Amino acid sequence: MAKLTPMTEAERMRVGAAVTAAEASSAGEIVTILTGRSDDYRDVALAWAALVALVSLLALALFPAFYLGLIDRVTGAWVQEWHPAQLFEVAALMATIKFAATWLLLQWWPLRLALVPRPVRNSRVHARALTCFRVGAERRTTGRTGILIYLSLAEHRAEIVADEAIASKVPAEVWGAALAAMLAELKQDRMADGLIAAVERVGAVLAEHFPRAADDNNELPDRLIEV
């Protein structure tokens, strides 16, 4: 998926209007959240830096003559017999330099994200979606009919999380159609249309299982939330 163009205020309003329209025929409460990224993955960057430092130590242990000879050539020193204390100093210096260099390289966000394993990215997006759901939708409606549509741009991943009443009637697999409809629009750089497509399909499912009552009140905000 290519980098998406930021939404305009008019597009945000369209998403909010789609939520209002979807809720008009359902007791469900749809919350939409858009975020640039779900995590900064600093722990992953630290893990890569530590791994590179460890590999450098392993390389020194396996090929000491090569690395010590290289140091002699670079420094212009005469060939000498290295003492244990000097060897430890070289090992510590090499590991420190490798760790620091890798850490600095991974401050460049595109590289850091590219080195995050996909399962880790998926789990972080899911965890962040659950956190947002618990804060913004879970058990905040009378009938526990809140549902979250969560889109994380950096990871190119979306999640749909439903409250108890919805989850008890609608299998999680049903939301796959809504996610697929969103993805089709996102691939064409139509972020607002993607969110609207997901909202419409979620709304259709909710209308089928949770028809709107005459005294139903709007309990959660319809506007798009950006975090």
- Out of 39-53, 68-82, 95-109, 122-136, least confident range: 68-82
Output the six-digit token pair for 128. Answer: 């962040």
0.85 cut: is pTM over it?
A: no
| 77 — pLDDT class (breaks 50, 70, 90) | low
Confidence of residue 146 (pLDDT cuts 50, 70, 90): confident
Give me the helix-helix angle, 84-105 and 42-62, nearest 10°. 150
- Quick one: fold of 9-39+117-226? Diaminopimelate Epimerase; Chain A, domain 1 (3.10.310)
**Residue of 208, 157, 207 whose CA lies nearest to 182:** 157
- List the beta bridge partners of residue 146: 29
Mean pLDDT for the stretch of residues 108-136: 93
Domain ranges in the chain? Answer: 9-39+117-226, 42-114
Tell me if 22 sits within 8 A of 199, measured CB to CB. Answer: yes
pLDDT at 65 over 80: no
Residue 125 three-state SS: helix
Average pLDDT over residues 114-120: 95
Least confident of 75-79, 113-117, 159-163, 175-179: 75-79
Contact 98, 53 (CB under 8 A): yes
Query: What residues contact 39, with CB distance under 8 A and at least 6 apart?
Result: 124, 125, 128
- Mean local confidence (pLDDT), 125-137: 88
Stated as kind and residue range, the H or E segment containing 150 is strand 146-152
CA nearest to 149, candidates 114, 117, 186: 186
Q: What is the three-class DSSP state of 149?
A: strand
Q: Please report, rounded to a whole number, the percentage of residues in the chain having pLDDT higher than 90.
A: 52
Q: Per-residue pLDDT tens for 162-187? A: 888 898 888 888 899 999 999 999 98
Beta bridge partners of residue 158, listed in sequence order:
151
